Amino acid sequence: MRIIPAIDLLEGKCVRLTQGNYEKKTIYHENPLEMAKIFEDNGLEYLHLVDLEGAKASKVVHYHVLEQICSKTKLKVDFSGGIKSEEDLKKVINSGANQACIGSLAAKNPEIFIEWLQKYGENQIVLSADVKHEKIVVQGWIEKTEWNIYEFLRKFIPHQLKYVICTDVAKDGTLSGPSYELYHQIYKKLPEIHLVASGGIHHEKDLEGLKNLGCEGVIIGKAIYESKISIKNLKNYA
């Protein structure tokens, strides 16, 4: 299982939100590059980098942070937030991102997402499925859609979709445990998906549970910053 620590960017700093609420933010580190180096120094290989301002603005804002981290560490970075045009997608890839995570555009313009999947490949394009009560939410989790999570995933599977990051918004930043039942149902209905779990991670036992469930990866944010899980122990689960 891939262990993927998260850095959420707001005003150039590492922050965490609670349930996607921009008014409920906590600043954990002033320098994202320094935080990324801490992860790398502790033997981790991956990083989930989220441009929160980009998500709200519908365009990528923090290219420079992505470029810094990719040029000054060996971390394999997946980048999320604000990728709404192919120009932005190319900038993210050219800035060094290993994977580009697309959510809002896939929900609103699925045909464009399918084009990107086929053009850039299943290993480079990741579907971000942000869920609230089994419905997809977009635009930094502010806007609800009519997409059911299972219908959403089924739309793209015939078009070479491989990786999905699924975040239960109700769990995100709460340290209340991951959405085991949601992930179980996704695997039951769509076993071909490579699922990365996100939201609610609290204890190391959560990592064991997600690994046993078959998750390909897990994104961990607040549990690291609040010292609920030791960074030094994370590589043991990879």
pLDDT in tens, 173-225: 889 999 999 999 999 999 999 999 999 999 999 999 999 999 999 999 999 99
- Point out which residues pair with 148 in neighbouring strands: 135
Residue 8 annotated among the catalytic residues of the structure:
yes
How many Å apart are CA 126 and CA 129, to the nearest integer? 9
Q: Identify the CATH number of the domain in which residue 11 sits.
A: 3.20.20.70
Q: Tell me the three state secondary structure of residue 25.
A: strand
Catalytic residue among 51, 78, 88, 130: 130
Selected catalytic residue, list 8, 51, 168, 206: 8
Is 206 an active-site residue? no
Domain that holds residue 53: 2-237
Total domain count, the chain: 1
Parallel, antiparallel, or unpaired: how do β-strands 125-132 and 163-168 relate? parallel
For residue range 31-72, what is the model confidence (pLDDT) as tens digits? 999 999 999 999 999 999 999 999 888 999 999 999 999 999
Residue range 143-178, pLDDT digits in tens: 899 999 999 999 999 999 999 999 999 898 889 999
Alpha carbon separation from 203 to 10, 24, 29, 127 (Å, rounded)? 26, 22, 22, 26
Q: Which residue, among 143, 195, 207, 204, has the nearest Cα to 169 in the 3D structure?
A: 143
Q: Name the strand (E) or helix (H) holding 197.
A: strand 194-198
